[in-house]
Chain A
Amino acid sequence: MTYIVKPQLHHPTLTKNKVGYTRRDYEGRISTLCAGCGHDSISAAIIQACWELDIEPHRVAKLSGIGCSSKTPDYFLGASHGFNTVHGRMPSVMTGANLANRELLYLGVSGDGDSASIGLGQFANAMRRGVNMAYIVENNGVYGLTKGQFSATADRGSKSKKGAINSDSAVDLVGIALQLGATYVARSFSGDKAQLVPLIKGALAHGGAAFIDVLSPCVTFNNHAGSTKSFDYVRQHNEAVSRIDFITTKSEITAEYAAGEVIEVQQHDGSMLRLRKLKDDYDPTDRLAAMNYMQSHAARGEVVTGLLYVDPLATDLHLSMNTMEVPLASLGPQELCPGKAALDKINASFR
């Protein structure tokens, strides 16, 4: 099918953010996904997050792989450049893009087939390198575009729509991200926008590798009884460890919560994450504890959501590479070409 034109008529009374854009300016083309798809809710959350963060849309580069999830960047941030790459290899393209221009915000959107099956290696290595990015996996445990095969995040014992039982262990992307050094790791649910929007805002403002695993039920192929990625299953097993509020600057903090219930984390750019702890025994700044917590709760069949881990002093690939402050892509011959005199010297060294 070809694309559908979306009317661009804006209601004059729509609220504008600080940079002068309405929420609708962050929209993209009309989605071609199935009605009720969890992915569309995530797109809406991304739009909301970017609008609330006062990000100029063209300062975002959105990248994706292949699959239902990877089509979605066409459905939000229409004024941003997007790149729908190849299956499972978006992380490398995003890494290269980021190296070329460190001034843009990098938003990666992928799926569970894309990141956990064909692209597990690239997913792992991008986390390991600390690419400054917000990497969202829209996780439904199933291949949609090819009509319902299991992906690598499908839980062992879960049942496909056609009745097949998955006998392979599930790839735990959150566990991998934590282990490999991602500095912002969260899990959420496409049906919980109140939780998801601040998590995306936090990820976009984070100064290193930020990963959000968003359970996003596939209404067509994976929303039946026996599936562990259905709306009903996720709702019943959702164990939120925290609620986060995202605040752009410290000054905006208002005392809404009782002492002891709230953790405040200041990120690189000065933005604050205020975490309302829902579990007393959870500390999202302790990576080892987070890994342990995730494992033990997963063993009980619980789906732990919320901001699972954050390192507010995160570093990124540019810091490890000691690159210039300005984008490498902006440099010209003046800055890059060593010139004839240097070449003559080099020639002499080869004689």
Chain B
Amino acid sequence: MTQPIQATNDFVIKFANVNGSGSASANELFAKAVIRMGVPVAPRNIFPSNIQGLPTWYEARICEKGYSGRRGGVDMMVAMNPQTWDADVAEIEPGGYLLYDSTRPIPPSKFRADIQVIGVPLTEISNTAYTDPRQRQLFKNIIYVGVLSVLLDMDASVFEKLFAEQYKGKERLLDSNVQALNLGRDYAKRHLKHPLGIRVQRADNVGDQILVDGNSAIALGCVYGGATVAAWYPITPSSSVAEAFQKYCEKLRVDPATGRNKFAIVQAEDELASIGMVIGAGWNGARAFTATSGPGISLMQEFIGLAHFAEIPCTIIDVQRGGPSTGMPTRTQQSDVLLCAYASHGDTKHILLFPQDPHECFEFGATALDLADRLQTPIFVMTDLDIGMNQRLCKPFEWDEARAYDRGKVMSAEDLEAGKDFGRYKDVDGDGVPWRTLPGTHPTKGAFFTRGTTRDAYARYSERGPDYVYNMERLLKKFATAAKIVPQPVVKKAAKDTRYGVIYYGSTTPAMQEALDVLEADGGHFDSMRLRAFPFPESVHRFILEHDLVFLVEQNRDAQLRSLIINELEIDPARVMPVLHYDGTPITARFIVRAIAKAVREREKPATAKEAA
């Protein structure tokens, strides 16, 4: 018989539920309780593009060391969905645990001999205690959390405190939740062997970290960064950005004296209208953003070209999902990199920011609004479903009270009155960034006709070659300026000198950091560079040239960021080896370690063989 898995503060538990059954809040309660015990958790929702009735999973990686990437493998399955039973049971690691609802008998052939099976008559317990059908359903979820708390040796007090916070002032709900939890706890204590080989033990590894999803974080970043106009069209996985922005604005942006809103949010008729409104607002001096996903970016192409060429500030949050076409709407990928970098027809290049977690989502939300004004161009914040829709433990949000908004080069009525020369598309400072005026600034000076057609430096319609070339060259210069002021890459040197490097970005970060530790423990040393923006500064070029081989780890099929690096930095493709994960699940450290170790082995083998000969 396979030995049961023994692990304290280091295991993966997965909940198999039916969507719409109210399991999400129970599962979140479980994760929060583990965190309150000082043990880091990385939870992930795996859900279908559906409202009710289809399978949904919640996978929580409990990891004292704090790795928040997906680990892969399941040590304990809470199997609440008969539809997916076979696959769920099959996914459990040998020696792992299965908790299931034993109210109805399940034939022995449906189990495995090499796992620990724990049956609890959850439906029966719930139906005996409650009569209302909705309550029976909801509290069944709390009951299994109660059972788990005993099996995993967790303190009841942690749950009680969480309930007390959540249901402050709603005493009836508080009591009934505590009761449901205890129904589960009492049953487990009386009937089940506890604790299991896997368990949660109090630790002190959470610190002041917060558990939050990237979409809420970026919305809050936009509130802090001064966005006043938001226009959007619902699309998974980005809708909750706009919804969170609405929620935070209603809380934080209503003028107390008048009750009037210091924000305007439009749910537009489509993505074209969304970006159009954002551009209109940006042209008129407001900070504005839209949030969308790949299909929305595809629709926005023409407008993005206009904002680029007419030089209108705007912020576009792309919460990436699996493409192409409708693709995998509820799965994650980093597959819009090239789409956004070169969006729209003609020669265009755009600025992309790659936040690694909700903390950076908040930071980059505000930074994007500054950069948009400073550089007068679209700024893309490239997050994805993994960061956007999952809660992640991360550093708390920070805001420097002294931070001002960088409104960039805007000419005032006084500037114009003083006779300052105004050429809307003229490079007067040598950085490629021209000055602009806002509508209504001055009765007789500074007005111009904004258009997507070519014009001279004074915004006068012109199809003359030299005027066109002047402008296109200036835009390149502006892009070079951007490379200097966007968030710079984060480099971490290996413990020992090495010929190998890795480059990664965005949601790959937690898995990559874990993979680097695993590789190092095994004697593999890699310098690493986390990219935080495009255009790439000179340091990226240097980093690649300093190594014999650089692995570029990303989550798409075609190695899009690698293409961008090779193309933009004119790098020999042989120097950059792609490591690609794109099945829609978040990349794991195990995957990265396997791929890199194999590549290194293969690369070093022939040399060794030659030497031996």
What per-residue 1/0 map shows which CB atoms of A89-101 lie under 8 Å from chain B? 1011111111111
Quick check: is A322 within 8 A (CB to CB) of the other chain? yes
Determine how close the nearest CB of chain B comes to the CB of A126; give it in whole angstroms.
9
Q: Is the CB of B273 within 8 A of A125?
A: yes
Q: How far is the CA of A91 from the CA of B461 in the complex (A)?
A: 23
How many residue pairs link A and B with beta carbons under 8 A? The number is 234
Q: How far is the CA of A35 from the CA of B514 in the complex (A)?
A: 72
Q: Per a CB cutoff under 8 Å, which of A3, A81, A93 touches B279?
A: A93
Q: Is the CB of A104 within 8 A of B210?
A: no
Quick check: is B570 within 8 A (CB to CB) of the other chain? no
Quick check: is A298 within 8 A (CB to CB) of the other chain? no
What per-residue 1/0 map shows which CB atoms of A310-351 lie under 8 Å from chain B? 000000011001111101111111011111101100110011
Q: How far is the CA of A333 from the CA of B272 in the complex (A)?
A: 29
Q: Is the CB of A328 within 8 A of B262?
A: yes
Scan residues 420-463 of chain B and give those whose CB is less than 8 A from a CB of chain A.
437-444, 447-453, 460-463
Quick check: is A84 within 8 A (CB to CB) of the other chain? yes
Q: Is the CB of B229 within 8 A of A324?
A: no
Scan residues 265-288 of chain B and give those whose CB is less than 8 A from a CB of chain A.
265-266, 268-270, 272-286, 288
Q: A82-B450, A89-B273, A340-B399 are in contact. Are A101 and B440 (CB under 8 A)?
A: yes
Q: Is the CB of B401 within 8 A of A339?
A: yes
Quick check: is A85 within 8 A (CB to CB) of the other chain? yes
Of the listed stretches A9-17, A41-49, A55-63, name the one at the interface; the rest are far from the partner chain.
A55-63
Determine how close the nearest CB of chain B comes to the CB of A148; give it in whole angstroms.
22
What residues on B are CB-neighbors of A78 within 8 Å?
447
Q: Is the CB of A84 within 8 A of B444?
A: no
Q: Per a CB cutoff under 8 Å, which of A103, A323, A350 touches B260?
A: A323
Q: Is the CB of A81 within 8 A of B277?
A: no
Q: Is the CB of A89 within 8 A of B463?
A: no
Determine how close the nearest CB of chain B comes to the CB of A78; give it in whole angstroms.
7
Q: How far is the CA of A318 from the CA of B262 in the complex (A)?
A: 11
What residues on B are CB-neighbors of A99 within 8 Å?
229, 264, 266, 277, 280-281, 286
Q: Is the CB of B451 within 8 A of A84?
A: yes
Q: Is the CB of B277 within 8 A of A92?
A: yes
What residues on A are CB-neighbors of B212 within 8 Å?
350
What per-residue 1/0 map shows which CB atoms of A194-218 lie under 8 Å from chain B? 0000000000000000000000000
Scan residues 477-521 of chain B and give those whose CB is less than 8 A from a CB of chain A.
none
Quick check: is A175 within 8 A (CB to CB) of the other chain? no
Q: Is the CB of A340 within 8 A of B401?
A: yes
Q: How far is the CA of A274 from the CA of B280 in the complex (A)?
A: 34
Quick check: is A238 within 8 A (CB to CB) of the other chain? no
Q: Is the CB of B281 within 8 A of A343?
A: no
Q: Is the CB of A100 within 8 A of B276?
A: no
Quick check: is B148 within 8 A (CB to CB) of the other chain? no
What residues on B are CB-neighbors of A121 within 8 Å?
269-270, 273
Q: Is the CB of B284 within 8 A of A329?
A: yes
What residues on B are CB-neighbors of A103 within 8 Å?
440
16 residue pairs A–B, Cβ–Cβ below 8 Å: A57-B447, A79-B447, A81-B449, A81-B450, A83-B283, A96-B288, A97-B283, A100-B280, A100-B282, A100-B288, A103-B440, A322-B261, A328-B262, A329-B228, A329-B438, A340-B399
